[in-house]
Chains A and B, each alone.
Chain A
Amino acid sequence: MDDSKWVMLSTTQFKDPTTTLIISILAGSLGIDRFMIGDTGLGIGKLLTCGGFGIWAIIDWFMIQKATREKNMEKIQQLIY
């Protein structure tokens, strides 16, 4: 990886899993946690279904941190390769 990529990498905005977890707990039914990590489609789905009847909102409490890290990883891989 050359230095120019390093500069791009160090200025990339990553999402903090702790922040998305807090958002998920507070406003998960509105889909805001999914919107934050870029999952617009899933976010709309959550919003339209009131957090998937509440069930999806609860499931995402446990899944959102891993999903955030995966999205961050995708960003890194796009830059490096």
Chain B
Amino acid sequence: MKLDRNKLYAFLFIVCLAGYFWLYFNITKTAVDHSTMGVCMIKYGTNMPCPSCGSTRSIVSLIEGNFVEALKINPLGLIVAAIMLFTPLWIVVDLIRKKNSLFDFYKKSEGYLKKPRYAFPLVFLVLINWVWNIVKGL
């Protein structure tokens, strides 16, 4: 499956759409019983949270206006929120202008992030976040 522009855009669009449905579902659930639905396989299997556990709660908090709270629950949630916000817009802009700017950006970023000097610090940050999640008892 060679990842070309249209496949990438379709995939990203579907993922973002799923993300929005998930978010909507959890916002309405939080309004009822103040909790989100857990889907983490790692948490299910080992009782320990994974690095991105809490990102839904983080985004829900962000939507309610608590930026600091969102950051404290899980900073990755903010990254996900930014991606969910900008990706669909970028895809639409690219489709209208018949350009590949998002695809090119994706490919270039992949090239950068694979390099050890970017990969190692990022992996380290993810690991710290994971430890923080465990400490927080997410």
**Hey, which bits of chain A sit against chain B, CB under 8 A?**
28-30, 38, 40-41, 44-45, 47-54, 57, 67, 70
Q: Are B79 and A54 in contact, with the CB atoms below 8 A?
A: no
Seed contacts A29-B50, A45-B15; 13 additional CB < 8 Å A-B pairs: A28-B41, A29-B42, A30-B50, A40-B114, A41-B106, A48-B55, A48-B76, A48-B79, A48-B83, A49-B15, A49-B19, A51-B40, A54-B41
When distances are taken between beta carbons in the complex, the residues of chain A under 8 Å from B2 are: 70
Q: Are A51 and B41 in contact, with the CB atoms below 8 A?
A: yes
Q: List 17 A-B contacts (CB under 8 A).
A: A29-B41, A30-B42, A30-B51, A47-B51, A48-B52, A48-B55, A48-B83, A49-B15, A49-B19, A49-B52, A49-B80, A50-B41, A50-B42, A50-B52, A51-B40, A54-B41, A70-B1
> Is B53 close to A, CB under 8 A?
yes
Give bound CA distance, A53 to B18, whole Å: 10
Q: Are A53 and B39 in contact, with the CB atoms below 8 A?
A: yes
- Nearest chain B CB to A74's CB is how many angstroms away? 8
Give bound CA distance, A28 to B80, whole Å: 19
From A41, A50, A70, B53 is in contact (CB under 8 Å) with A50
B53, closest chain A residue (CB):
A50
**Hey, which bits of chain B sit against chain A, CB under 8 A?**
1-2, 15, 18-19, 22, 39-42, 50-53, 55, 76, 79-80, 83, 106, 109-110, 113-114, 126
- Nearest chain A CB to B65's CB is how many angstroms away? 23
When distances are taken between beta carbons in the complex, the residues of chain A under 8 Å from B79 are: 48
Q: Are B41 and A57 in contact, with the CB atoms below 8 A?
A: yes
When distances are taken between beta carbons in the complex, the residues of chain A under 8 Å from B22 are: 53
Q: Are B110 and A50 in contact, with the CB atoms below 8 A?
A: no
Give bound CA distance, A53 to B15, whole Å: 11
